[in-house]
Structure 1
């Protein structure tokens, strides 16, 4: 991982040690221009559109190439905060002349994806975002099973799994998109490493699926209906509003740019509500379960801080470096734990006064790993504290944004991972939320 901040002229204002190492290898230095060309292009896109942008880019030298998922978040002062996660490293092309050529995806696919040898997603085509509202930040580096629910044939065959065992191409794998419940068909071409071993798939998604190819009951899936009725139209509205705001087709009157910004903001709020309703439907099912993997709660906290760096800077709030233990392994699901921490940090930033500080602390106690998120806000009266974890209840209805589902979902997710989410606060004293998960040690 790395984090960095660049100014309006793409000069490096700050960056952690990992970023400095990469930037120095590209002949850059602190205070000078950003030397990582691919990252610089992403910075300029985010600044021009004035919205967060995420891409997978390659950063490397003559020895090693690294595929990084980089998120660029613009601030009001035209600074851009960067947060990146390393997906994989491989020998640089110049250093490995015997490397097998890139593999093409299956022909005719609606959109494409790629996974490594561990079946973790390394690339997601932009069409997956525009067509289905998928979030690359959530999907990338996660298991393929987090993106698709695979369906066995009537004889029990699973083409994708058989292809993994035999390191060969596959086709005709029925599946359902977890995010929206849409039925799809998967195919993939195998990728080999330098030594000829299995290195993953370059896959395609086919959306024209016959009714007989999937089990009954999915046609009325709640998530699928939300996707069809709300998610896709809202995504189109947001994209068009941002295009007007960015004046991509020529000069636009300043008043209309402001109107477009309001439309985009309202669209994102509604899209967030759709996502929360989808999550609520999922967590309230009797068969809902989360993964039981070792996860580093310290790394998750730092990732969440990077994702919210731009919003915090815009609000004039500082997210202090994580204190306490640098890392602590807990048992849970990485994606769901990150979702909880992003929610807690986002609330802390939103309710902190300008000039305030949000603090995180990591500690172990009584067989659990605890992450504390504290703010300098107005606090929550004791009699209100139980209510803020209920559906559609907000801590302060006078504040803009929010729908009253975030903390309800966060607590249910924590409980699903055999953990807990609690709050300590008092009127005028700020609030401290604690996420507790079982210790993996």
Structure 2
């Protein structure tokens, strides 16, 4: 730590807020922030205070915190108007090294950016077999539809891997970052494969992102007469409203994703040193963008399920297997809060009737909510039961619970029970119940204040 407790550091600026002279260590800080001496003030916090002092014609004094990518600097600063510019005095200068970044931070940043920019996203099981796929770009529609029809097959069966094609099967590390060729698309594509790890470090599944450096042009948007074939809503979706699903969603996704990626670049200081408050602001922008994308997804889903003729497919599914898959997808989020997911045993099975992707969507929503609202270092349980003709799975948390009045409103459209700041749209449970009922089932809630909450998905039992 560098300390200049008893040293008065002086500097001068001119009428254009250029730093014309500066004592050490302020001169070094100016250089580390990309400035020159003399030259425009490159330290944002100092530049702001100097501009205010000169503009108001007042002496200003306050503590200041800045950083140069190497150290965090704290000092007391006094700025006084003088001869068209300002006289600058700093005292109690303390410089401490920036803390080291976590070893996995670079990987997490890359995953966040890839997730935001992806034009095709797929969930894979531990064997890299396709579970779900979502896509909006028309030049990826053929491969997305093929994946949707081929759920359970390796994703590499649907793309060309160039020089890697002759080396199948491939470890996911060889595929992460690989260039892939998509039949029917003229754009170059890169695959990102993000593992989802269990409590013991085992691989539970993967997220697959296909991204391109070449942006989607207007001709790449899904034509209106093909909108009801868009992959994302599954094969059972017969109609889609023109407002969100057909027209706005494809147009909005890419620019919002670009905003998120740029904000993440700023937040992570990949373009140079940045004060903490500005990095936090960029993080807020990225988070708001993620919430907006989630809202677009929810509105698109709502339009689909409320459309006349909506009818999910009647697949034969295993609720126990789907519960384990959903928990694997959300395992990282649970571990970040120290939450234990109690899952059905690998030998346990519960046949049911319902569309594979839609049941997985409901379970992801229920488990995700339980993780979000249950305390840290607690447990979320997935419990299976059945009777003569019904198969049931319950998601039970140890959260604060709901009052009887709240429980009566929890499935209402846009209902958020007074919560603010968590980014939810208030549509997740509404959509989940509509889906359950469309599949011949039901979604119910049991809860008491202080005793956690149980959501139960009920479906027709399979043979």
Which of 108, 112, 136 is equivalent to 1:47? 108
Provide closer, same or farther for how the CA distance between residues 247 and 94 of structure 1 changes in structure 2, counting only shifts above 3 A: same
Could you tell me which residue of structure 2 aligns to residue 393 of structure 1?
A: 415
- CA shift, 1:304, in A, is 1.4
**Equivalent-residue separation in structure 2 for 1:272 and 1:393 (angstroms):** 16
SS in 1 for 2:291: helix
**Equivalent-residue separation in structure 2 for 1:331 and 1:406 (angstroms):** 22
- CA shift, 1:108, in A, is 5.8
SS in 2 for 1:385: helix
CA contact (8 A) 1:371 1:434 kept: yes
CA contact (8 A) 1:323 1:362 kept: no
- CA shift, 1:67, in A, is 4.6
Could you tell me which residue of structure 1 aligns to residue 249 of structure 2?
A: 227
**Equivalent-residue separation in structure 1 for 2:365 and 2:276 (angstroms):** 33
Tell me, yes or no, if structure 1 residue 178 matches structure 2 residue 230.
yes
Matches within 5 A, 1:71-82: none
- CA shift, 1:259, in A, is 1.8
**Equivalent-residue separation in structure 2 for 1:236 and 1:270 (angstroms):** 13
**Equivalent-residue separation in structure 2 for 1:377 and 1:237 (angstroms):** 34
Provide closer, same or farther for how the CA distance between residues 51 and 385 of structure 1 changes in structure 2, counting only shifts above 3 A: same
**Equivalent-residue separation in structure 1 for 2:190 and 2:405 (angstroms):** 49
CA contact (8 A) 1:46 1:52 kept: no
Could you tell me which residue of structure 2 aligns to residue 76 of structure 1?
A: none
- CA shift, 1:48, in A, is 3.8
Q: Which runs of 5+ in 1 are unaligned?
A: 1-42, 61-65, 72-84, 97-102, 115-121, 133-147, 152-173, 182-216
Matches within 5 A, 1:323-402: 326-397=348-419, 400-402=422-424
CA contact (8 A) 1:422 1:434 kept: yes
CA contact (8 A) 1:323 1:361 kept: no
Matches within 5 A, 1:10-409: 46-49=107-110, 51=112, 67=128, 87-88=153-154, 93=166, 105-106=182-183, 109-110=186-187, 125-127=210-212, 131=216, 178=230, 220-227=242-249, 230-322=252-344, 326-397=348-419, 400-409=422-431
Provide closer, same or farther for how the CA distance between residues 313 and 396 of structure 1 changes in structure 2, counting only shifts above 3 A: farther
Deviates more, 1:430-439 or 1:249-258: 249-258
**Equivalent-residue separation in structure 1 for 2:418 and 2:447 (angstroms):** 14
Provide closer, same or farther for how the CA distance between residues 129 and 380 of structure 1 changes in structure 2, counting only shifts above 3 A: farther
CA contact (8 A) 1:380 1:395 kept: no
SS in 2 for 1:389: coil
- CA shift, 1:236, in A, is 1.7
SS in 1 for 2:399: coil
- CA shift, 1:387, in A, is 0.9
SS in 2 for 1:386: helix
Deviates more, 1:301-310 or 1:279-288: 301-310
**Equivalent-residue separation in structure 1 for 2:425 and 2:333 (angstroms):** 18
Provide closer, same or farther for how the CA distance between residues 180 and 373 of structure 1 changes in structure 2, counting only shifts above 3 A: closer
CA contact (8 A) 1:180 1:224 kept: no
**Equivalent-residue separation in structure 2 for 1:334 and 1:59 (angstroms):** 14
Provide closer, same or farther for how the CA distance between residues 337 and 397 of structure 1 changes in structure 2, counting only shifts above 3 A: same
Q: How many corresponding residue pairs?
A: 298
- CA shift, 1:424, in A, is 1.0
- CA shift, 1:330, in A, is 1.2
Q: Report the TM-score when normalising by structure 2.
A: 0.54
- CA shift, 1:372, in A, is 0.7
Provide closer, same or farther for how the CA distance between residues 258 and 370 of structure 1 changes in structure 2, counting only shifts above 3 A: same
Deviates more, 1:300-309 or 1:252-261: 252-261
CA contact (8 A) 2:394 2:455 kept: yes
Alpha-carbon RMSD: 4.5
CA contact (8 A) 2:240 2:304 kept: no
SS in 1 for 2:410: helix
Could you tell me which residue of structure 1 aligns to residue 452 of structure 2?
A: 430
CA contact (8 A) 2:323 2:343 kept: no
Could you tell me which residue of structure 1 aligns to residue 24 of structure 2?
A: none
CA contact (8 A) 1:375 1:431 kept: yes
**Equivalent-residue separation in structure 2 for 1:225 and 1:94 (angstroms):** 41
- CA shift, 1:297, in A, is 1.4
Q: Based on CA coordinates, which of the two structures has the bigger radius of gyration?
A: 2
CA contact (8 A) 1:331 1:440 kept: yes
SS in 2 for 1:378: coil
Provide closer, same or farther for how the CA distance between residues 125 and 95 of structure 1 changes in structure 2, counting only shifts above 3 A: closer
**Equivalent-residue separation in structure 1 for 2:311 and 2:214 (angstroms):** 25
Deviates more, 1:247-256 or 1:289-298: 247-256
Q: Report the TM-score when normalising by structure 1.
A: 0.57
Deviates more, 1:303-312 or 1:287-296: 303-312
